Chains A and B, each alone.
Chain A
Amino acid sequence: MGDIEALYIGFTIIWVGVLGYMLYIHVIQRKLARDLTLLGELVKKNERK
């Protein structure tokens, strides 16, 4: 592997990995927050019945 090529690849591995993981936890957090809101509304409706 070439010298500069190795630097680019190493750099890319770390930052794509970090950003990918940050995106992953952000998406899961958003999904759970939405589920929580929807389920909260459902519980309130059930309690009113």
Chain B
Amino acid sequence: MGFVMNQEEFSKTIENLSKNYRLYAPVIKKGEGRCLDEDIVRYDFVTKAEEIELELKSDYSFKEILLPLSETLFFFTENETKVADKNTSDVLVFLRSCDLHGLRRLDDMYLRNGKEKDFFYSRIREHVQFVLIGCPHSYKDCFCVDMGANKIDEGYVFTIEPKGDGFASEIKDDDFTKYFVGQSEHVKVSYVTENETKVNVPNNVPLSIYKSDFWREYDARCIACGRCTIVCPTCTCFTMQDTFYDPNGKVGERRRVNASCMIDGYTNVAGGGEYRKPHGQRMRFKVLHKIKDYKARFGYNMCVGCGRCDMVCPEYISFSTLINKLDDQIKKEAE
């Protein structure tokens, strides 16, 4: 079951949806890249079909809706603590298969790691549903197939992808049929079956690799900017941040902000303790989390192969290349 829509019908469908949902989708942000006239694609709320970017791969992931880069948790007055309000009206997030696989990682960390569900994550998560953007072709740097994130059969209400001059949607949840304007047709969502970039994720990572000189190369190459983790749909770390506004220190707030194990200060403990100062060691910590440590805890690999970290690295460090080099190194050491 599905719909085929021309541009006008798609616009009408989005208009219908936005009456009941806040739509969160990839959007081209003109000139917001780091260099002049460089556009980026990142997520934002939209109300019109034209705003939704369905062709380009987004530079930043959807995770900001669930884990805002900076989120106020509490407001403090002299003697009172107030939980910050949140718009919890229903949201539809437009994302690709890799990102929807990423969602499982976010849920596992915030809903299932430790005894308690994360309050601030849960209160928005409960109001979010997903629209799968079909991938008729792979993009440069994608390696979703080898990470098993190229295809997904559940967790979304309908799909959307450009088709010819128009758009096609496969309906998963019949409750959404009523929003659609277009030709009713049998539609199957497209997905990628082969990427140009291939990775061999090592099955067994020996402890010796932690101490290996393998990582030394990145001491110099990596500048510890953390862009790879900020764009990653599976990185979830945050840091608590307290602040007061007035000079008397009477009114203030507690926030949490995205944190990165690549950026200075991540491991600092009060009194000056710090772990993993060399950037290569941070690289090791991040990389082995993605393809080993996370799996040891949750039973499946963390990395979904979206390749955004490769796209964003200002020093041209390729995660996928690193994995393959690591695999070679492990095989070499085993000989």
A, B bound = no
Chain A residues packing against B (C-beta within 8 Å): none
Chain B residues packing against A (C-beta within 8 Å): none
